[in-house]
Amino acid sequence: MAEYNKPRILYLKRILEERTDEEHPLTTSQLIEILNTEFGIYAHRTTISKDIAALVDFGMDIVTIHSTQSKYFVASRKFELPELKLLIDAVESSKFITEKKSRALIDKIHSLTSEGQVSKLKRNNYVAERIKPDNEQIYYIVDTINDAINEEKKISFQYYDYTGLKKKVLKNKGEIYTLSPYHLVWSGDYYYVMGYSDKKNKVVTFRVDRIAANPQVLEADVVPQPTGFELADFTKEVFNMYDGQEVTVDLRCDNSLMKTMIDRFGEDVKTLAYDMTSFRLLTDISVSPTFFGWVFGFDGKVQILAPEEVKEQYKQMIKKAAEDV
């Protein structure tokens, strides 16, 4: 008689959530058979209908198709199919999440819908040319840094770099970096930890996936954030073309690049008509070789109009590059 004491309604809930949707309803007989053969739980037609009524009262959106053999399916869930696909695409395309962790996360996302819907997700899901990291410790590193931020404690760690032969080595011969962590920032498909460096006497960033091992949380309290420090302004300076002197640049861009510029700088970026084939774009950037390389990559379709000193720096960089060839 022990089988009658099993939590029948909980197993019924699981079966409905995992196996039913609008295209895959289950009959009363099928539910009774699954409960009996797979879970060793006895059920009767009347108990099934009563349990389903209780689940509906609990808040589940279960639709009953009335006929000679009633059928049931879960009509709505916390996540709709397009939302789940967006989550899966985000995981698949992330350069931060390893292949192994991606599979584990996607399996968890699949558990949020029915088996029939999962088959649709698998059939329709493809992300081209995925680049995945191999550092499986990233998740523990993020967790440790997050704990240190909450506890307002310094951390210490070693940092990876690459040689000209693409060999991964510890930066600065294994130097131990000490940081007062303030924020974890997601930018350009990577996590960065932002904090105060005692050595450099300023706020700096480190890419989390290049931290060599789980950081050590120190007993020392963090250095308070510098007076006037604004996270939004700092991230804009660092991640809008990286470190360098921040200035307002005036760019001439080919009309074909309007979408590209909006994708890069947002719809609020200031643009003005220049002539029939191009437009001006004014934005704040950090002047650096990265910015110049970005401009050069448009093969003449982006030109620096002002300021004059930035134009001159760009010309000198191109000249030096040509001389080195």
Rounded Cα distance between 159 and 168, Å, is 10
Helix (H, G, I), strand (E, B) or coil at 73: strand
**In the numeric block, which tokens belong to residue 172?**
């600065």
* 0.75 surpassed by pTM: no
Q: Which run of H or of E encompasses 17?
A: helix 8-19
Check residue 259 and give its pLDDT.
Answer: 85
Check residue 236 and give its pLDDT.
Answer: 65
Helix (H, G, I), strand (E, B) or coil at 57: helix
| All structural domains of the chain with their residue ranges | 2-74, 81-124, 138-229, 240-324
State the helix-helix crossing angle for 28-39 and 45-58, rounded to 10 degrees.
90
Series of mean pLDDT values for 10-residue runs along the chain (325 residues) = 64 93 93 93 90 93 89 90 86 79 89 86 60 71 93 94 75 93 83 90 88 93 89 67 72 91 81 92 85 90 94 88 69
Which is nearest to 62 in space by CA: 110, 9, 108?
Answer: 9
For residue 301, what is the DSSP state? S
Rounded Cα distance between 55 and 66, Å, is 18
Check residue 227 and give its pLDDT.
Answer: 86
Check residue 261 and give its pLDDT.
Answer: 86
Q: What CATH code is assigned to 240-324? A: 3.30.70
Check residue 282 and give its pLDDT.
Answer: 94
Amino acid at 189: D
Check residue 151 and give its pLDDT.
Answer: 95
Are 253 and 279 in contact by the 8 Å Cβ rule? The answer is yes
* CATH architecture, range 2-74: Orthogonal Bundle (1.10)
